[in-house]
Amino acid sequence: MGQKGFYFDMENCIGCSVCQIACKDKNQLEVGTSFREITTYEGGKFPNPWVSHVTMSCNHCGNPICADKCPTGAMFKREEDGVVDIRDNICIGCKRCIEVCPFNGIKYLGKEKRKVGKCNLCFDITEKGEEPACVAGCLMRVLKYGEIKELKKLNGSKDTVSPINYGNTNPSYIIKTKNKNIKY
């Protein structure tokens, strides 16, 4: 079994939100719902201010707590690529997965649908050899996807590559940080 994931180069991200818009468009999401969130951090003082952007969606964790806590088994991890996905036909919209996800990667799709949704790494198009919508849309080419083992090799320096973690979830998301001295 492989493990697909994301690599994000914070150093060169301009915070344009195209990755978020591409995801919304591909998934035909309602206004106010987004599977990919962008957070902007600002700090410093004149003459040394700074700004950084982080884009994040589901991190397709190695140990997805959302799948462990799903009472129906709707949330699951695909064997072939490690993508965490949802079986819509058995999701009851209880929101337990939303409550336990430490990365805010799962969204409630509204009272009408009564289901949850999230990034599934666009496996319907990546299986055809294309990139996920967010990666294909990234103007600065700072967002990449692939086998997490390969993505970890992209930067080469452990000082500026930051694997994120929470508990024992083992997210498949690598961040090339902008400045290791900045506290987020």
Which residue is it, tokens 């987004």? 34
Residues 82-139 have pLDDT tens digits of: 999 999 999 999 999 999 999 999 999 988 889 999 999 999 999 999 999 999 999 9
The single-letter DSSP state of residue 127 is T
Q: What is the pLDDT of residue 111?
A: 80
pLDDT at 184: 44
Q: What is the CATH number of domain 4-176?
A: 3.30.70.20
Average pLDDT of the chain?
89
Please state, in angstroms and as integers, the Cα–Cα distance from residue 153 to each residue in 10, 83, 91, 122, 140, following that order.
16, 20, 37, 23, 20
Cβ(21)–Cβ(7) under 8 Å? no
What integer pLDDT is reported at residue 179 of this predicted model?
Answer: 62
Residue 7 near residue 151, CB atoms below 8 Å: yes
- How far is it, in rounded angstroms, from Cα 117 to Cα 87? 10
138-169, pLDDT tens digit by residue? 999 999 999 998 998 886 655 444 556 667 88
Q: Which amino acid is at 86?
A: I
pLDDT at 131: 96
Instruction: Evaluate if pTM is beyond 0.85.
Output: yes
